[in-house]
Structure 1
Amino acid sequence: MASISANSLHFLTALLYISIPVIFTATVVDDLNNLQPPPDFKSTITNNCRRNPSLRYCNSTPSDLHQIFKSTIVASHLCNISGNPNCVESFPKIDLHAQPKIAPLYLSFTFFWKYCPLTILSIDLSNNSLTGDFPTDVFYCSQIQALDLSHNDLSGDLPIQNFSLLENLTFLNLSYNDFTECRISDTHFFERFNSSSFIRSGLVPNHKEFRIKAVLLLVGLPVLVLVMVVFWGWLCFLQIRNERKFRPSMLKVATDGFSARNLMMKNGRASAYRGVLRDGSEVRVEIYLDAMSRENRRRFVEQCKILVQLQHKNIVPVLGWCGGRRLRAVVTEWIDGENIETLLSSCNPPWKQRVQVILGIAAGICYLHQEWPQVGYNLKTRNIMLSADGEPLITRFKLLDDHHSSTKKTYEFGMFMLEIVTNRRGSKELDQKSVDIVEWVKSNYPDNVENVIDKRMKKTVEIVSEAAEVLEFGLTCIDASNSHQPSWDRICDLLSDISSTAIPSASPDHWTSRVQRGGGRKHVHHRGVQ
């Protein structure tokens, strides 16, 4: 780049005086790198300041001369780029609207803004995707009347106090930026300009958007909470359901590979193991060995889903099931106690305890009859366990038993009562005509009741009388002929009535009178069983 001639220098000093830069042919960056101030530049600056002391460079030091010279170069380029009609005579505006490639460059020239020409009245830096904080260098141009920084991405706090430097500013546009919302104490600043100056600037809340957000908050929050509650409830349901459904591998681990030392029972159709789950709880795992069709597996699972819902103090809690093709099992709590068969054969329980066992099992059966009539169960004395607090528990269920009718249930309960009184086991089913224990009791009742009462039990007059009542009630439940067998609705009403008063404190006709009212067979006291 050729050096500046004397005439050019004189022209340049004139421009400095009226704050209009000269036009150069090279780019602003090239001119800044290649051009140097002429030798008499200092004297020119001094003369200009003598004529007009208000020029911004008048209080500068000799070391600032190079910066002042560079500002004239930038002013020359910027005046032409901004579309001013005659940069030799006037430089009224900086217009970098929608020029995102060069706007940041000119904003970076702090030395230009420091010596901003006094003729500039308007600055337009809109629509340039500018980022970061507000460009505070524009405050050097304190004489401006219009400033447009709209449609950028400026953020952070707006230096509101600095706007007091721009006394002539009448037009301001900061819309469509992302500034930090101003404090209430800054309301005077907003009163100075039109509200259109701050549309979606972030400086003031958008009342329309606020109303929309308020509505969304008031409506959406309860809906969101409801959805979350339903969602978490569903997750809990799935978790509970999954916890109740055991995989074969889980049961194998719990029983130590179905080891022989954990085998508690085995017959032709099922086997039972003692196991320990991962959480340390002990369980009884009853495995069904017989082959099962796909339809029966489905029914098996449906019945197990019912078993896990049973809640009664006389029914063992069912924890879950396994319904695989190769392994089907029901998992219940482990009852660490003795069964009724063992209790009768080895401990000779007193009469009062025997009655409590009968009433407890009857209460469990009534619960099943009223709430879950489709559930079958096994009332053999070896399958009735005593809990830690002495409550008798039904521990085994009959799955896929379509023949477990109400009549059969009543029959099994009658047999259970006879076994409790006599300490003998029935070995035949209802459809067999010769049932040993039943025939034996009938042959001794009512004249020789003492012969069938457990021989080890103390036989007071009161106990013998009450045992006779229990035996008659048992025979009534067993007798399915001639509609003598009472319905379970009647039995439950009866047992509900007498459960509040223990049998040992009842009158001799305590059971018999209620059976008669309940629609069972007639009282046959001292006259034989028909």
Structure 2
Amino acid sequence: MAPISAIALLSFSLLSISISLILSSNIIEDLNLPPPPDFRSTILKNCKENPLIRYCNAVSGDISDVFKSTIVAQHLCNESKNPNCSNSFTKIDLSTRPLIAPLYLSFTFFWKYCPLTILTIDLSNNSLKGSFPSDILFCSQIQSLDLSYNGLIGEIPTDGFTNLTNLTFLNLSYNQFGESNILRLHYFARFNSSSFLRSGLLAKDRKFNVGSIVLQVFLLIFVVGIIGCFGWRCLQRPDLLPFFLQRKHKFTQAVLKAATDGFSEGNLVGRNKRVEIYKGILRDGSEGLIEIHRGKFSFESRRDFVEECRILVQLDHKNLVQVLGWCDNREFRAVAMRWTDGYTVVEWLSRNPQWKHRLKVLMRVVEAMCYLQDQWPQVGCEIRTSSIFLSNDHEPLISKLKVQDKNNPSKNVYKFGVFLLELVSNRSPHEGFETGETGFVEWIKIHYRHHVRKVIDERMKTTVITFVQVKQAIGIGLMCTDVSNNQQPSLHQISKMIDRVYQSSLVSQSATHRHKIQRTPTNALKVNGD
């Protein structure tokens, strides 16, 4: 009789088990089933026909392990996608099956009775941990074994390998074994180094591992150093970061130092005991005005300073200085503002500007004050001829702003009234008046009714029409500074009154211009004979 195949010998008991068992997908449940009544007699018959079957020596022992091994064999054959598991079981292929590979490796009774037809075992890429799975060496007839890309450690059972006389392919690469140089052993000389790459089994692997560790440590130190240097540099010079990584409105002392060329004297605009003001080139290439305060600042004052700056950077009006950001250290504090070419109103008045230009400045200043009152009532401003700058096109810029706990509208109206009277008279309340602003306002009142020309800037040329406009403006200024009856006009009312005076000045200027043209001879309009 022809020899019975090993798979047939293993599956003999399955012939007496129901089809539902064979097709069952839950191996744990199947392993709890008892052997069928005639199981012992069936395997005795098989062993009589082929005594080489591995379970034949166990017939007199624990027959249940033999039965369980046949169940595992059936499941494992299906998991390994063998073509016909009732007749053929040539390979165990659990490659990249990390969820079930450890389970089948735990079935010691299966490996003990490993089917003789299995020629290939592939357990690669399963992240197996621990020592070498020695039970698979019971399959001494195998020709191919692949345990690569796992995490196996310790020594391999070299004595057990000597029983694998048919083994022609071996791959233990990418594990963490501890043998020194396996190729020196006679049995393993049949394989080349590709079977043991990065496995720890080659002498050069150890050298490589030590070198690799040193290299990794060096790279780690290098990377940490680079990141540390880069981080420190970014903290000091955030303006060097890409735009999307920059902290908006927050400057460092190093950034401001670079912007002012090291706080050089050449960039120094002004200085007193409390503050230094520099001109500098900011991160976006624009010119900025940097106001610096030095000293020891308490935690509370630093907190208040930052909160104030957070508000000021949000202001958006063409006649208010644009605050770009701030710097806050324990002994260094700064505010960066957009630089505007121009001069103070004091300097401007010395050039004897025309009445319409003075009116335009008044109109723009009160508009900016209305903006603050409506949208930022907590922000106050200093309205002085010395603290308001003018651009070349006569646009005023209020340069001193302050966040206040309580903003007094009446006081703001009074400050504007004084400013208006200064522009008309070209006189400073703090020069020539013992009582300052109060004396200055009283001086205007005394001469307003009957000697108003004495309070008007004598250099300013006025016509009959502009004289009336100037007198109207002085009347507005006196209303603003009259706090005796609590009937001061509001900033919005003042804005409308100033605007009417300004519009009338434009109308009168246009009428005067037409009158001059009408009086000009016809031939005077011709140029170059046209």
Q: TM-score normalized by structure 2?
A: 0.50
1:118-138 CA-to-partner distances (Å, cap 9, x unmatched) read x99533578741469xxxxxx
Q: For residues 268 and 466 of structure 1, do their structure 2 counterparts lie closer, same or farther at Cα, with a shift above 3 Å needed?
A: farther
Distance, in Å, in 2 between the alignment partners of 1:97 and 1:500 is 103
Distance, in Å, in 1 between the alignment partners of 2:432 and 2:304 is 25
- Structure with greater Cα Rg: 1
1:244-287 CA-to-partner distances (Å, cap 9, x unmatched) read 12122222222223222222122344332111123322111112
Instruction: Give RMSD over aligned pairs.
Output: 4.6
| Secondary structure at 2:476 match in 1 | helix
Counterpart residue number, 1:123 = 88
Distance, in Å, in 2 between the alignment partners of 1:295 and 1:261 is 34
Instruction: Write the letter of the residue equivalent to 1:483.
Output: N
Q: What percent of counterpart residues are identical?
A: 38
1:410-444 CA-to-partner distances (Å, cap 9, x unmatched) read 22211111111112222189994764532332232
In the alignment, structure 1 residue 481 sits paired with structure 2 residue 507 = no
Alignment equivalent of 2:422, drawn from 419, 422, 447 = 419
Alignment equivalent of 1:330, drawn from 327, 331, 335 = 335
Counterpart residue number, 1:315 = 320
Contact 1:95-1:123 at 8 Å conserved across structures: no
Contact 2:344-2:387 at 8 Å conserved across structures: yes
Deviation, structure 1 residue 381: 1.6
| Secondary structure at 2:474 match in 1 | helix
Contact 1:262-1:274 at 8 Å conserved across structures: yes
Alignment equivalent of 2:459, drawn from 437, 456, 460 = 456
Alignment equivalent of 1:340, drawn from 337, 341, 345 = 345
Counterpart residue number, 1:391 = 395
**Counterparts of residues 37-116 of structure 1 (less than 5 Å):** 80=53
Instruction: Write the letter of the residue equivalent to 1:437.
Output: F
Distance, in Å, in 2 between the alignment partners of 1:492 and 1:238 is 41
Instruction: Write the letter of the residue equivalent to 1:397.
Output: L
Counterpart residue number, 1:141 = none
Contact 2:278-2:289 at 8 Å conserved across structures: yes
Contact 2:323-2:335 at 8 Å conserved across structures: yes
Distance, in Å, in 1 between the alignment partners of 2:359 and 2:413 is 17
Distance, in Å, in 2 between the alignment partners of 1:498 and 1:504 is 10
Distance, in Å, in 1 between the alignment partners of 2:72 and 2:55 is 4
Contact 1:311-1:317 at 8 Å conserved across structures: yes
Q: For residues 305 and 451 of structure 1, do their structure 2 counterparts lie closer, same or farther at Cα, with a shift above 3 Å needed?
A: same
Counterpart residue number, 1:504 = 504
In the alignment, structure 1 residue 382 sits paired with structure 2 residue 386 = yes
Deviation, structure 1 residue 505: 4.0
Distance, in Å, in 1 between the alignment partners of 2:285 and 2:243 is 22
Instruction: Write the letter of the residue equivalent to 1:415.
Output: V
Alignment equivalent of 1:252, drawn from 242, 247, 257 = 257
Q: Which range moved further: 288-297 or 377-386?
A: 288-297
1:298-337 CA-to-partner distances (Å, cap 9, x unmatched) read 2221111110000111112110112222122221101122
Q: For residues 402 and 429 of structure 1, do their structure 2 counterparts lie closer, same or farther at Cα, with a shift above 3 Å needed?
A: farther
Q: TM-score normalized by structure 1?
A: 0.50
Distance, in Å, in 1 between the alignment partners of 2:255 and 2:498 is 45
Deviation, structure 1 residue 385: 1.9
Counterpart residue number, 2:492 = 492
Distance, in Å, in 1 between the alignment partners of 2:353 and 2:317 is 24
Counterpart residue number, 2:371 = 367
Contact 2:473-2:501 at 8 Å conserved across structures: no
In the alignment, structure 1 residue 273 sits paired with structure 2 residue 278 = yes
In the alignment, structure 1 residue 262 sits paired with structure 2 residue 227 = no
Q: For residues 263 and 414 of structure 1, do their structure 2 counterparts lie closer, same or farther at Cα, with a shift above 3 Å needed?
A: same
| Secondary structure at 2:343 match in 1 | coil
Q: For residues 433 and 500 of structure 1, do their structure 2 counterparts lie closer, same or farther at Cα, with a shift above 3 Å needed?
A: closer
Give the length in aligned residue pairs: 317
Distance, in Å, in 2 between the alignment partners of 1:331 and 1:268 is 19
Deviation, structure 1 residue 386: 2.5
Deviation, structure 1 residue 466: 0.8
Structure 2 gaps of 5+ residues are 7-48, 57-69, 98-119, 126-241, 509-530
Deviation, structure 1 residue 360: 0.3
Instruction: Write the letter of the residue equivalent to 2:329.
Output: G
Q: For residues 239 and 131 of structure 1, do their structure 2 counterparts lie closer, same or farther at Cα, with a shift above 3 Å needed?
A: closer
1:90-115 CA-to-partner distances (Å, cap 9, x unmatched) read xxx99955779xx99xx9xxxxx9xx
Distance, in Å, in 2 between the alignment partners of 1:128 and 1:80 is 23
Q: For residues 351 and 120 of structure 1, do their structure 2 counterparts lie closer, same or farther at Cα, with a shift above 3 Å needed?
A: closer
Q: For residues 349 and 429 of structure 1, do their structure 2 counterparts lie closer, same or farther at Cα, with a shift above 3 Å needed?
A: closer
Deviation, structure 1 residue 361: 0.6
| Secondary structure at 2:347 match in 1 | helix
Contact 1:94-1:122 at 8 Å conserved across structures: no
Distance, in Å, in 2 between the alignment partners of 1:407 and 1:292 is 33
Contact 1:254-1:276 at 8 Å conserved across structures: yes
Distance, in Å, in 2 between the alignment partners of 1:321 and 1:373 is 22
Instruction: Write the letter of the residue equivalent to 2:373.
Output: H
1:148-178 CA-to-partner distances (Å, cap 9, x unmatched) read x9x9999xxxxxxxxxxxxxxxxxxxxxxxx
In the alignment, structure 1 residue 302 sits paired with structure 2 residue 307 = yes
Contact 1:408-1:430 at 8 Å conserved across structures: no
Counterpart residue number, 2:131 = none
Instruction: Write the letter of the residue equivalent to 1:482.
Output: N
Distance, in Å, in 1 between the alignment partners of 2:85 and 2:414 is 111
Distance, in Å, in 2 between the alignment partners of 1:464 and 1:413 is 21
